[in-house]
């Protein structure tokens, strides 16, 4: 099954090594978007799976009020947590470990 194209604007999650963020998503969408990773050659644009987390304006005051997660190692960690997090408005804490294409994430549910 081909994923639907997500409408823009895109608001990709960008965390530096050791940086964390907590969101309380109230909805999510799964789709795809054209992306250009900074470590790829200029003009190397590819379709990437994206999880769009719709979050309260208080957690992301600047429009758009959603965050697009397109990291291949983050999506499988977020996907099983989203149904329960959304159902009870539980937070999801994301911690980045490392840099570039070797970056990994620690993901946990929080109150």
pLDDT tens readout for residues 4-63? 999 999 999 999 999 999 999 999 999 999 887 766 777 778 888 999 999 999 999 999
The answer to whether position 95 is within a domain reads yes
- Tokens (6 digits) for 55: 């979050």
Residue 5 lies in a domain: no
Position 34 scores a pLDDT of 85
Specify the pTM. Answer: 0.89
Which residue in this structure is represented by tokens 């940086």?
19
CA atoms within 13 A on the CB side of 110: 13
**Residue 15 resides in a domain:** no
How many separate domains does the chain show?
Answer: 1
Any domain includes 106: yes
Cα 22 to its chain centre, rounded Å, is 11
> Which residues constitute the domain of residue 74?
20-110
């Amino acid at each position: 099954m081909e994923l639907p194209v997500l409408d823009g604007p895109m608001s990709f999650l960008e965390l530096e090594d050791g940086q964390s963020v907590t969101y309380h998503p109230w909805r999510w969408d799964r789709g795809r978007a054209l992306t250009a990773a900074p470590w790829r050659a200029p003009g190397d644009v590819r379709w990437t799976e994206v999880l769009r987390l719709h979050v309260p304006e208080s957690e992301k005051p600047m429009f758009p009020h959603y965050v697009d997660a397109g990291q291949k190692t983050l999506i499988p960690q977020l996907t099983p947590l989203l149904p329960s997090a959304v159902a009870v408005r539980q937070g999801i804490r994301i911690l980045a470990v490392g840099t570039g294409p070797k970056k990994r994430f620690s993901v946990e549910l929080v109150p």
